[in-house]
Copies of this chain bind each other. A is one copy, B any other.
């Protein structure tokens, strides 16, 4: 399971304050904590600062990569901010995200296709959020084929089928899960990714629902997630689910995590 640590996001007040104050130590500590907890990419988002996103996203990449030897997940729809951040980024980043929305797609395609980056492909079009698995698969097929036509490698594509709240429509969880399975089987070698906390919006016990849904999504083939790796219960669920679907040789990751007291449930 490829974990993208989600915490360095300017929509969070503490992060926005640290960015504005140029507080390197705080940002670097959060990057280190996420790396130690198992993140393999550190998401960086400065989108709350529209006028200074270029400057701040670049600063975040430099600040994070001084602290950890990990690539970033560059979380912006702004090609100018991405290009500036890419100039200072070391290693192979993930671009978060492209979609079938015409404006976003046209702007980001040159950035993505010029390089051998990993890219999050949102199942979103100008028709809005998908509702059914069929909606998602239709968008995914068009978007993936479009990216392949532009020489992006299949194994660099992370399709995000978009989680929606089951409290809004009780079919939303099932349709999401179905789409993960179908995307993984139609494009052998592709990846699926998501941030799944939306699924529990409007319900009690959200964290419990989120981690239960994570195990269910792993059962369906999900192999990457944007999440808070400091959430020990969530990470325990990921480890358990991975062992249970045979993605953990001899269950050693799970057993070692247990021995280290990391299986908090």
Contacts and interface: CB of A to CB of B under 8 A. Distances in A.
Interface in A241-265: 241, 243-246, 248-251, 254-255, 258, 263, 265
Interface in A33-56: none
A93 B241 CA distance: 34
Interface of A: 166-167, 170-174, 177, 199, 203-205, 208-209, 212-213, 215-220, 236-237, 240-241, 243-246, 248-251, 254-255, 258, 263, 265
B246 A166 contact: yes
Contact of A258 (B204, B220, B244): B204
Given A177-B219, A212-B215, A216-B215, A204 B246 contact: no
A254 to B, nearest CB: 7
A129 B8 CA distance: 49
A45 B216 CA distance: 32
Contacts of A220: 219-220
Contacts of A204: 255, 258, 263
Interface of A (DSSP majority class): helix
12 contacts: A166-B243, A170-B251, A173-B243, A173-B244, A174-B245, A177-B219, A205-B263, A208-B240, A215-B216, A216-B216, A216-B219, A219-B220
Contacts of A265: 205, 208
The 4 closest A-B pairs by CB, nearest first: A216-B219, A170-B246, A173-B244, A208-B265
Contacts of A243: 166, 170, 173, 203, 209
A244 B199 CA distance: 8
A225 to B, nearest CB: 15
Contacts of A209: 240, 243-244
Contacts of A217: 219
Contacts of A177: 219, 245
Nearest to A170: B246
A186 B236 CA distance: 34
A216 B241 contact: yes
Contacts of A254: 203, 205
B246 A171 contact: yes
Max chain B Cβ within 10 angstroms of own Cβ: one of A172, A177, A209, A237: A209
